[in-house]
Structure 1
Amino acid sequence: MRCALDGEGVFRITLNRPERLNAFNQAQHEGLIAALQQAERDPAVRCVVITGEGRAFCAGQDLQSIGDMPIGDLVRRYYNRWIAQIRSLEKPVLAAVNGVAAGAGVSLALACDLIVMAESAAFIQAFARIGLVPDSGASYFLPRLVGYHKAMELALFGDRVSAAEALSLGLCNRVVPDDQFEPAVAEWAGWLARGPRAVGWIKRQLNRGLERSLDEVLALEAYHQEIAAATEDAREGIRAFVERREPRFTGR
């Protein structure tokens, strides 16, 4: 696992096992968990980017590295933990899908708040092809994003979904040519890192909105609007709007 924080507040997490298509072993699981903890605790981090080294984003679990641990325990100990970390982190998380994502690698991308895919990248729900079931939140994310029947097709057949098809299905936000991929990721990440304090509350609201009643969401929106209005960023945003200029947010 390789991590780097730039001067804008973009914290880049790179899965770094290119010889195994960035498939997870114990060290990589623990590295991702530690990196997400660092992102949560460090106030200098304002946006997180997760990507892969080499030609793949993440091939899921490295089946040769499981050892004697029952796979259910592996899922509970590692996968469930970092999925929950990504969803609860009150900072935007951008998946920069540079190549193929398979199995839990797809779930890793779908757990993020925004997804940019290189034109040559692809998603593969590989579980059924090896006699396993979707995990790492795939059963949660897929039906919500593409509907029940398409999710069932993807889960049962495990066909390769190109970046263009992923975009048409709503599985990603943006597809860019490979030679423009890094600048596109940097552009979005930089914009997110320069965003207001309210970004984290927006993420919380949309996550709660997936499950809560309308009355509960209305109450949460009113609460967040009250505390957002009291921030320095809101005051700056309103001044900038009146003065017809771009706001300069500080995350406070």
Structure 2
Amino acid sequence: MPEQPLVELEIAGKVAQVRFNRPQALNALNFAMIDAMAAALDEAERQARVLVLSGNGRAFCSGADLSGGFACPAECDEEQDCGAPLETHLNPLMARLRALHIPWISAVHGAAAGGGAALGLAGDMVLATEDAQFVMAFARIGLVPDSGIFHMLVRTIGRVRANEMMLLGGRFGGEQALEWGLVNRVVPGERLMAEALELAQRIAEGPASLATIRKLSWSALDEDFAAMLRVEREAQRDSGRTQDFREGVCAFLEKRPPRFTGA
């Protein structure tokens, strides 16, 4: 039998689906899987206008595979550099997702632990099932959260709540994530992908400016108010030069639905 891909890519119309495909390992991340993910993102950007990220099997992503090139406790010594895999693989992946040229939705079910939690929470929109579990397990093995978790948690739920999760190595479910503003919707498991794809289709039919909106929302986490005023001004200039802007105005004046193309 041919070897199953570590990451599945499916493109239907303007929507790309990227799925982690190591269900036997709860989609734990190894180097090969991250490389495959990067290649899938490149292809999705070329062919689609929106991306949905999910995982096959019982979990979204259980974090780094400690036997797959990441720090392995059996081999740890004083010279061990547990940050090296972040520099070479995980951080570039997280930076790549932040800089993606198309909006993306994460659809989280089951466990999303460690770096898997970071991936699940990094979506432009985040859907979670009722049984989803975001797990901050780093402290349990003597490490610190990584993959951008500090940035996302502290700036979203506040320092005190984030510290409780990270210092105690805790977990929170989909409903808690919804209450804290970390996810957009909590849905029954059997509805997860249908809801995610419905949202993706709505975004895919939108104007080219949607890609700029997702980019600016990330910028707003880091820039001060004056800087964002400048960024918004430049983005409005560029958006006003698109065919979609002209189509949107014409549709408004003609009292008809717009037909956006992403150009």
Say whether the fold is shared (TM-score over 0.5): yes
Using the TM superposition, give the Cα deviation of residue 49 of structure 1 relative to its aligned residue in structure 2, in angstroms.
Answer: 1.0
8 Å contact kept, 1:146–1:169: yes
Amino acid at match of 2:39: A
8 Å contact kept, 1:15–1:52: yes
Query: Are 1:48 and 2:54 an aligned pair?
Result: no
8 Å contact kept, 2:11–2:44: no
- After the TM superposition, which residues 176-191 of structure 1 pair with which residues of structure 2 at under 5 Å, given as runs? 176-191=187-202
* Correspondence for 2:38: 33
- The match for 1:18 among 19, 23, 34 is 23
Using the TM superposition, give the Cα deviation of residue 213 of structure 1 relative to its aligned residue in structure 2, in angstroms.
Answer: 2.2
Q: For each residue in 1:115-144, what CA deviation from the matched residue of structure 2 results, as whole angstroms up to 9, or x when unmatched?
A: 011111111111111111000000111101
* Correspondence for 2:222: 211
* Correspondence for 1:193: 204
Matches of 1:243 and 1:100 in 2, distance apart? 49
Local SS of the residue matching 1:58: coil
8 Å contact kept, 2:104–2:125: yes
| Structure 2 alignment gaps of length 5 or more | 1-6
Amino acid at match of 1:220: V
Query: Are 1:102 and 2:108 an aligned pair?
Result: no
Matches of 2:85 and 2:63 in 1, distance apart? 12
Amino acid at match of 2:9: C
Amino acid at match of 2:31: Q
Using the TM superposition, give the Cα deviation of residue 158 of structure 1 relative to its aligned residue in structure 2, in angstroms.
Answer: 2.1
* Correspondence for 1:80: 91
Q: Give the count of matched residue pairs.
A: 249
Local SS of the residue matching 1:181: helix
Q: TM-score, normalised by structure 2?
A: 0.91
Using the TM superposition, give the Cα deviation of residue 217 of structure 1 relative to its aligned residue in structure 2, in angstroms.
Answer: 1.1
Using the TM superposition, give the Cα deviation of residue 209 of structure 1 relative to its aligned residue in structure 2, in angstroms.
Answer: 1.6
Using the TM superposition, give the Cα deviation of residue 210 of structure 1 relative to its aligned residue in structure 2, in angstroms.
Answer: 1.6
Q: For each residue in 1:85-144, what CA deviation from the matched residue of structure 2 results, as whole angstroms up to 9, or x when unmatched?
A: 000112101101122100110001122211011111111111111111000000111101
Query: Are 1:61 and 2:61 an aligned pair?
Result: no
- Cα RMSD (Å): 1.4
- After the TM superposition, which residues 81-160 of structure 1 pair with which residues of structure 2 at under 5 Å, given as runs? 81-160=92-171
8 Å contact kept, 1:92–1:199: yes
| Structure 1 alignment gaps of length 5 or more | none
Matches of 1:199 and 1:172 in 2, distance apart? 19
Matches of 1:28 and 1:70 in 2, distance apart? 21
Task: Report the identity percentage.
Answer: 40
Matches of 1:225 and 1:94 in 2, distance apart? 24
Matches of 1:186 and 1:243 in 2, distance apart? 30
Using the TM superposition, give the Cα deviation of residue 181 of structure 1 relative to its aligned residue in structure 2, in angstroms.
Answer: 1.4
8 Å contact kept, 1:119–1:175: yes
Amino acid at match of 2:224: S
